[in-house]
């Protein structure tokens, strides 16, 4: 697989490059977090990092070997590439979850003969709303709206998740819907 243009690589290109190499070694990770927003918003949002959920059975040594084979080195908890100054990779522990919901089924995308996994647009919206709901991170509401306005998603599933997640979920959902419909 051809290396990306490191000085200009975006979140989607880096995810595909790293994800392909991981999948080639039998490591199935799932892209979550802000990089998913960057991909679904077609670059309207830039995350600065990629959060990959590692498999349930840790493959930390295989991940390290694979990442080093494509030029990354581990610095603290991040993997960095010397030619890529604007994005880094972080592996987070399994399972994939959104708030109290652990029944997440990621979307699968085929890329050059490998299956790469990413949160669905609906789950990406729920993930961003979780940060708004639990941490009052207003920027995450804005990110949820960016995804909602650029992707097809299941509004009913977002509503159901919000109502089940917290006693203030109803207010969060109503604010999201009001801004989405503007």
Residues 6 or more apart whose Cβ sits within 8 Å of residue 118: 15, 30, 31, 36, 39, 106, 107, 109
Contact between residue 48 and residue 74 where contact means Cβ atoms under 8 Å apart: no
pTM of the predicted protein model: 0.96
Q: Print pLDDT tens along the chain (182 aa).
A: 899 999 999 999 999 999 999 999 999 999 999 999 999 999 999 999 999 999 887 789 999 999 999 999 999 999 999 999 999 999 999 999 999 999 999 999 999 999 999 999 999 999 999 999 999 999 999 999 999 999 999 999 999 999 999 999 999 999 999 999 98
Closest CA to 83 of 71, 74, 91, 92: 71
Pick 11-119's CATH classification: 3.30.70.260, 2.40.40.20, 3.30.460.40, 3.30.70.20. Answer: 3.30.460.40
CB count in 10 Å sphere of residue 120: 20
Domain residue extents for the chain: 11-119, 122-181
Residue 70's pLDDT is 98
pLDDT in tens, 121-168: 999 999 999 999 999 999 999 999 999 999 999 999 999 999 999 999
């Amino acid at each position: 697989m051809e290396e990306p243009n490191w000085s200009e690589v975006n979140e989607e290109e880096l995810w595909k490059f790293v994800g392909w190499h991981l999948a080639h070694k039998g490591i199935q990770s799932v892209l979550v977090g802000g990089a998913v927003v960057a991909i679904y918003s077609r670059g309207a949002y830039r995350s600065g990092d990629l959060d990959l959920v590692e498999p349930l059975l840790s493959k930390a040594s295989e991940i390290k070997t694979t990442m080093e084979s494509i030029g990354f080195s581990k610095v603290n908890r991040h993997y960095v590439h010397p030619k890529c100054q604007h994005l880094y990779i972080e592996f987070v522990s399994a399972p994939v979850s959104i708030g109290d919901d652990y029944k997440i089924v990621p979307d699968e995308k085929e890329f050059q003969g490998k299956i790469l996994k990413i949160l669905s647009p609906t789950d990406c919206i729920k993930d961003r709303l979780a940060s708004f709901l639990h941490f009052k991170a207003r920027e995450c509401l804005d990110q949820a709206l960016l995804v909602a306005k650029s992707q097809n998603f299941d509004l009913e599933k977002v509503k159901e998740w919000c109502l089940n997640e917290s006693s203030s979920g109803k207010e969060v959902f109503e604010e999201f819907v009001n801004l989405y419909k503007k």
